[in-house]
Chain A
Amino acid sequence: DIQMTQSPSAMSASVGDRVTITCRASQGISNYLAWFQQKPGKVPKRLIYASSSLQSGVPSRFSGSGSGTEFTLTISSLQPEDFATYYCLQHHSYPHTFGPGTKLEIK
């Protein structure tokens, strides 16, 4: 099975900060990597698919990059509504696997 790791597991940041979250796969997954945002009590929301394609309706301050085993999600200028937990997902091979999540909190 492909293992996904995320770093950091948690972080605090301020409105306006630039934030980068990293996701690593234990083996190559091409660009079969998606990023999700989840707020407490809410359904996960897809932000990025195919590693770097922005979901329609998602603000352009979100961007994704990477291929193979290392991927990043960047938020260029944090907004108050961005404080949430972020998950990566590999869907290259079965079983699909999510990263453990990165909790982004307000500093």
Chain B
Amino acid sequence: QLQLVESGGGVVQPGGSLRVSCAASGFTFSSYGMHWVRQAPGKGLDWVAFIRYDGSNTYYAGSVKGRFTVSRDNFENTLYLQMNSLRAEDTAVYYCAKGSWFGESTDAFDIWGQGTMVTVSS
């Protein structure tokens, strides 16, 4: 069964750092690009970052560029999001989502994790 499970959320002070993880199972993780999407309390969905299947390219939303880093370990079937210089406006549920097979295609975002809550507060 295809599954994504996030972990690592918590409460962090403004300016602090946190790394969240996404463990994949049930599919060939190393063949798929992966995304991070977040949702602030009571707000809409906000795309955050993407990493290609082999980690060779990454893309970011402007609001997190230079502060967040997406990475992956294809041996451990795990996706990561390192978040530095955190701000109150980064408070959100962070979801990982499965991208498309190898290159870009129209078939993506079919599988989502349950999300992990990150709260930035003093």
Q: Is the CB of A44 within 8 A of B106?
A: no
On chain B, the residues within 8 Å of A36 by CB distance are 45, 109
Q: How far is the CA of A12 from the CA of B53 in the complex (A)?
A: 41
On chain A, the residues within 8 Å of B112 by CB distance are 43-45
Does residue B101 face the partner (Cβ distance < 8 Å to A)?
Answer: no
User: What residue of chain B has the Cβ atom nearest to residue A100's Cβ?
Assistant: B44
Interface of chain A residues 48 through 93 with chain B (CB within 8 A): 49-51, 53, 55, 87, 89, 91
Q: Is the CB of A49 within 8 A of B108?
A: yes
Contact status of A43 and B106, CB under 8 A, knowing A95-B60, A97-B47, A98-B46: no
User: What residue of chain A has the Cβ atom nearest to residue B60's Cβ?
Assistant: A95
Q: Is the CB of A89 within 8 A of B106?
A: no
Instruction: Return the CB mask of B38-51 against A: 1 if under 8 Å, else 0.
Output: 00000011110010
Interface size class of A (residues with CB under 8 A): 20 to 34
Q: How far is the CA of A55 from the CA of B37 in the complex (A)?
A: 20
On chain B, the residues within 8 Å of A43 by CB distance are 95, 112-115
Instruction: Return the CB mask of B92-122 against A: 1 if under 8 Å, else 0.
Output: 0001000000001011111011110000000
Does residue B59 face the partner (Cβ distance < 8 Å to A)?
Answer: yes
Contact status of A96 and B50, CB under 8 A, knowing A36-B45, A43-B114: yes
On chain A, the residues within 8 Å of B37 by CB distance are 44, 98
Contact for B59 among A32, A50, A94, A100, CB less than 8 A: A94
- Could you show 15 A-B contacts with beta carbons less than 8 Å apart? A32-B106, A34-B108, A36-B109, A43-B95, A51-B106, A53-B107, A87-B45, A91-B104, A91-B109, A94-B59, A95-B59, A96-B35, A96-B50, A99-B44, A101-B45
* 7 more A-B residue pairs beyond the given contacts A38-B45, A87-B45, A98-B46, with a C-beta to C-beta distance below 8 A: A43-B112, A44-B112, A45-B112, A49-B110, A89-B109, A91-B109, A96-B50
